[in-house]
Structure 1
Amino acid sequence: MKISELKSIWEPDLSRLSGRDRGQIYYQRCQVILGEAIRSRRAVITNNRIDRDWLRNEIGCTASVLAQNAAIRALVEDRDELFKGLTVRAPFQRRKVPQARSTRSHRLATALQMARFSGKISFITLVRDSLAYQVPLLQWGGRIDEEVSDWLRHLALSIKAPETSLKTYSSVIRDFTRFRRRHQFLWDEVDDGLIQKFQSFKLAKGVKADVVNQYTDIVFGFYIWLEETGRLTNHVQLSPGSNTGKKRIDFNITSKSTSPSTWKVDDAPGRVWNHRLTLSDNSKKDKRHTPNKEEIGRLQDSVLDQKHGERNLLLFLWAEKTGARRFEVLQITVQDLPTEEGRDEIADKGGTWAIQVFRKGRDEKGNLFVPVDLLRLTAQYVKYERSKIVTRCQERGVSVSDSLFLTDKGKGLAASSLTGLSRAAFIKAGVLRSSYHRLRAVFATQETKKAVEALESGHMQLIPGTNWTQTILLRVAELLDHSNLESLEHYLNNFLNARIQRAQATSGIAASETIEYKRKEIEALDRRIDNRIRLMEVMANLNVTCDPRIGAKLEAIGREVLTLDD
């Protein structure tokens, strides 16, 4: 007997089913029971968790099923966490679901009713192993979307996906769910054709092809998880061909396999499965432009004209010289910087200063390696421009953030503000198809050059088990905190092609960088001297033309400003 021959999952006699099929029926029953328990807040709770005897009797299985079925065990443990935050009333008495409720027509009618709702994404806090996780929950008219919410909980607790990624996944799956319901597809009926229609729908809305591909990856990842956890069977292709044994299987969602990356040092986990619905976007590479040296000079000049010119210049230099991402730069505090003696020691050793920041997609902090010349230029900003902001805030009784880069109000600069000022600088400098993030590409290009030349000169040794190209890319990936080495190959290829015409020594690159830092430091000093001269002239004129008492007062204020400037 097969599952498809059952009239309802609540049929009392399951003895003719195979053990695997019985396990799937028990899992479906457990989903329904716990879903009703959460919606009605009625369940038997013992020792701050769902009572297993009560649940076993409701499902109609033995105690060993709850203990040995991995999918049921994981589901129940997750629901235990949910019930900790709910006020639970008396247990409900589950009624046997009529046969008609399991038919497609009834399920589709329910889905169409849910289509009236836009879908609400909310976050709940779950504590596991003394760590708090923000877990998204998708609801339609007060009813939890169990499949989606279980998947998101898996991403949050097991994969430890960042909260920003979870928000994106939730939004995309919610959008796709609304689309499939409008086209009268149930969640377990989705196929390649519907996903292609979803892609066409997004393209017609003006969404770029590369973004639509990202949406498709998320939907495919969701259905891969459904297949791997037993919620779907032979729905997504996760085998080399469409034949399993002697029986041909036509998968709803097809895929293709690729070999794992040969760049990984760790053991590669078999083959990787990807969908076949990637849209071509030949213009993608042309849309991302890496600024050259002349354009970087124009960018720096444009930010210097902004209100906080010295601060904004440093924001650009930190991205260019350390490869830091926007949110990583904004994590840096004044306490992260070395003292003057520390900077001198670093300069004597010819090394860099490591700062601990949270890197992308990681729970623990990683190192950001800062050259000593950038540290010196940053110290000048702290001594002058930042100290003025601190002084003004303290005089007004306003608390000041420890963040290195401050606003006029003494708060740490927001990521949105950095995006806005960098966009304005790129537009003013006439650097098109580029952004603040592309400064990481400038850093990657420079570090690739240095790594090649260091390897040639013998200053860097091969990493065991790798060839010279892998050693170089691993070195650059470490500095960039980049997980995909293959995406860095083009930096190496571009450099090797350029060397046919011109080559530079590592020392030459380092020397040119030092000269550039000195030039910026002198320019900052020139601006401060010019400001002092203009202020002295203004005070002299005011002292002559104004009332002597007013002139004396203005002169005192001016001298106080000059003292702060010193």
Structure 2
Amino acid sequence: MPEPDIATGLIVLTDATCVIKGRSYAGIPTIVWKDGIDEDASDWFRDLVVRDGLATSSVEEYANILRPFLRLCRARKRNWKTVDDDFLLIWRGELHRGRGVAIPRVNTSMDVIFNFYRWAEETRRIRYHVGIYADDEMPTHVREHGFAITAKRTFRKTRHGRVFASWSTKLRLAGGNQSSRLRHTPSEEETRRAHELVAEQPLGERDALMFSWAEEVGTRRAEMLQIRKSHMPTPEQLEQLVERGEELCIELKRKGGKMKPLYASPDLIIRTIDFIEVGRAEIVNACRAKIFDYREPDEVFISTRTGLVLHRDSVTSIGAKAFEGAGIKNANIHRLRARKAVEVVETLVEAVFSGEMIGSETSWIETILTIAAERMGHMSPESLRPYLNYVLRRRIEKSDANAVAKLKAKRRQLEAHVGTLARRLSQHAELHRASRMIAESRTNEAVLALRRIADELALTA
């Protein structure tokens, strides 16, 4: 495997020795060029984690998006502080037309780059370069000449009625908004095929167990890779969980960087403990034999190559190969989490319709979305609304009332069609009678018959 070229920019992650204000921060990205550390970009990443509380996995993705843009600046000898809308449009065209990047991904890139420049403006690394000012906040000369990077003000209203103002880029491509339609969520049969395929691989025990954590608990990659041996219950605690029919609560750092609970069934915990004692133990022993001074990590899902916790990209690759091999398109291990989201929402909807969650002052839609968001570790309950819509549509499709309505509609259409055919036959019969009258020289009667037919045709026209 070729060594990475530092000229194109390396992304290096901090380890646990990075201590800021007395707290250890591992996983903060830093961009390194041939001429040294990119201090401005790296300071932004640090602020996102330390000041704003973003998850390091999200900030690493920001680094992956910002780096190629800064690489273009360097290739064209353009100081990033002098970039304007025209240069940003060049980057947008390079992504969309030059590299064939889809509109949603292009817009994500434009958003991240704009947020970097907004941060630089707010921290006074650049001044009056980005249009994030109201008219009364700008000096006269700025108001006359405008900004190099324009912005538009947006407003967001929370479910509690509070309104927040923010700034966003004007340079997003149109047509990239995602609809509320769900992406493909694997069916039960498709999921079983993927499970069977991955279980047959050399590391099938580990990988199938990861699939189960995603499907049955709803873990994201970063959350799954935080699961530790020390999270597992003692035999006595496990026995109590089984007797009470309760789930094990595990506190993990979830999306947004906050510690939140997730819940795993005793059956899944039993499988996990078994893997730790057998399959994982084999990986650990192999690593001890080949890696000098190897120290076993606490994380459950580890690599056979390094003996350390798996990388998120490895989890994605394992899932992609399994679903592709099972003939399932547009799906990955993250879509197993979507199955769990549907299951959670469906359970809550069932509780509503059975009367368990309806009260005189209860908005059942808001209640479902809020509880489901807490369970799935979503930052915003609104992100689960597509799943609620999907469940409600499916419930309506299967309901008795809907079946009756469909039968009534079908009957109406059949009756209307029968009436049309009857009228057609009637007209043919009248025409036949009129032709006989003409043949028998009963002209006056034929004229009257033809006039009736003409009147009927006029009424139905």
Change (3 A) 1:353 1:384: same
Per the alignment, residue 509 of structure 1 pairs with none
Letter in 1 for 2:341: A
2:167 counterpart of 1:273: yes
Determine if contact 2:155/2:163 at 8 Å carries over to the other structure: no
Letter in 2 for 1:442: R
Residue 369 of structure 1 aligns to a residue whose secondary structure is strand
2:198 counterpart of 1:306: no
CA offsets 1:516-552 (integer angstroms, 9 cap, x no match): xxxxxxxxxxxxxxxxxxxxxxxxxxxxxxxxxxxxx
Unaligned stretches of 5+ residues in structure 1: 1-116, 505-566
Per the alignment, residue 226 of structure 1 pairs with 120
Q: CA deviation at 1:198?
A: 0.5
Change (3 A) 1:182 1:271: same
Q: CA deviation at 1:144?
A: 6.3
2:214 counterpart of 1:319: yes
Determine if contact 2:256/2:379 at 8 Å carries over to the other structure: no
Change (3 A) 1:149 1:402: closer
Residue 225 of structure 1 aligns to a residue whose secondary structure is helix
2:325 aligned to which of 428, 447, 457: 428
Determine if contact 1:474/1:485 at 8 Å carries over to the other structure: yes
Question: Separation in 2 of the partners of 1:387 and 1:121?
Answer: 32
Letter in 2 for 1:475: I
Determine if contact 1:138/1:148 at 8 Å carries over to the other structure: yes
Letter in 1 for 2:326: A
Determine if contact 2:217/2:263 at 8 Å carries over to the other structure: yes
Per the alignment, residue 359 of structure 1 pairs with 254
1:24-103 paired onto structure 2 within 5 Å = none
Change (3 A) 1:353 1:164: closer
Determine if contact 1:234/1:249 at 8 Å carries over to the other structure: no
Determine if contact 1:359/1:481 at 8 Å carries over to the other structure: yes
1:290 aligned to which of 173, 178, 185: 185
2:91 counterpart of 1:198: yes
Letter in 2 for 1:365: M
2:240 counterpart of 1:345: yes
1:468 aligned to which of 364, 389, 393: 364
2:44 aligned to which of 151, 154, 171: 151
Q: CA deviation at 1:319?
A: 0.5
CA offsets 1:169-223 (integer angstroms, 9 cap, x no match): 4454443334346556554443322211111112212333333222211210012
Change (3 A) 1:201 1:380: same
Per the alignment, residue 20 of structure 2 pairs with 128
1:210 aligned to which of 104, 108, 111: 104
Determine if contact 2:301/2:310 at 8 Å carries over to the other structure: no
2:397 counterpart of 1:501: yes
Question: Separation in 2 of the partners of 1:413 and 1:143?
Answer: 29
CA offsets 1:144-177 (integer angstroms, 9 cap, x no match): 6564454344334322444444444445444333
Q: CA deviation at 1:318?
A: 1.0
Letter in 2 for 1:309: G
1:177-196 paired onto structure 2 within 5 Å = 177-180=70-73, 186-196=79-89
Determine if contact 1:346/1:352 at 8 Å carries over to the other structure: yes
Letter in 2 for 1:279: L
1:237 aligned to which of 131, 146, 165: 131
Question: Separation in 2 of the partners of 1:295 and 1:451?
Answer: 25
Determine if contact 2:284/2:296 at 8 Å carries over to the other structure: yes
Determine if contact 1:463/1:471 at 8 Å carries over to the other structure: no
Determine if contact 1:310/1:381 at 8 Å carries over to the other structure: yes
Question: Separation in 2 of the partners of 1:368 and 1:463?
Answer: 30
Letter in 2 for 1:177: L
Determine if contact 2:373/2:381 at 8 Å carries over to the other structure: yes
- Higher deviation after alignment, 366-375 or 304-313: 304-313
Residue 430 of structure 1 aligns to a residue whose secondary structure is coil
1:418 aligned to which of 315, 321, 325: 315
Question: Separation in 2 of the partners of 1:287 and 1:500?
Answer: 17
Question: Separation in 1 of the partners of 2:11 and 2:290?
Answer: 41
Per the alignment, residue 333 of structure 1 pairs with 228
Determine if contact 1:447/1:476 at 8 Å carries over to the other structure: yes
1:440 aligned to which of 337, 343, 358: 337
Q: CA deviation at 1:127?
A: 3.6
CA offsets 1:281-322 (integer angstroms, 9 cap, x no match): 559679942111221121122123223434332221110111
Give the length in aligned residue pairs.
Answer: 385
Question: Separation in 2 of the partners of 1:141 and 1:413?
Answer: 30
CA offsets 1:245-297 (integer angstroms, 9 cap, x no match): 9966633333333332524x6x8562132212222455967994211122112
- Higher deviation after alignment, 254-263 or 312-321: 254-263
Residue 500 of structure 1 aligns to a residue whose secondary structure is helix
Determine if contact 1:352/1:372 at 8 Å carries over to the other structure: yes
Residue 93 of structure 2 aligns to a residue whose secondary structure is helix
Determine if contact 1:237/1:255 at 8 Å carries over to the other structure: yes
Residue 263 of structure 2 aligns to a residue whose secondary structure is strand
Question: Separation in 2 of the partners of 1:485 and 1:358?
Answer: 18
2:269 counterpart of 1:372: no
Question: Separation in 2 of the partners of 1:395 and 1:193?
Answer: 57
Question: Separation in 2 of the partners of 1:308 and 1:147?
Answer: 42
Determine if contact 1:333/1:403 at 8 Å carries over to the other structure: yes
Root-mean-square deviation (Å): 4.1
Determine if contact 1:121/1:138 at 8 Å carries over to the other structure: yes
Change (3 A) 1:388 1:163: closer
Determine if contact 2:296/2:307 at 8 Å carries over to the other structure: yes
Per the alignment, residue 455 of structure 1 pairs with 352
Change (3 A) 1:218 1:458: same
Change (3 A) 1:272 1:461: farther
1:175 aligned to which of 58, 64, 68: 68
Determine if contact 1:243/1:249 at 8 Å carries over to the other structure: no
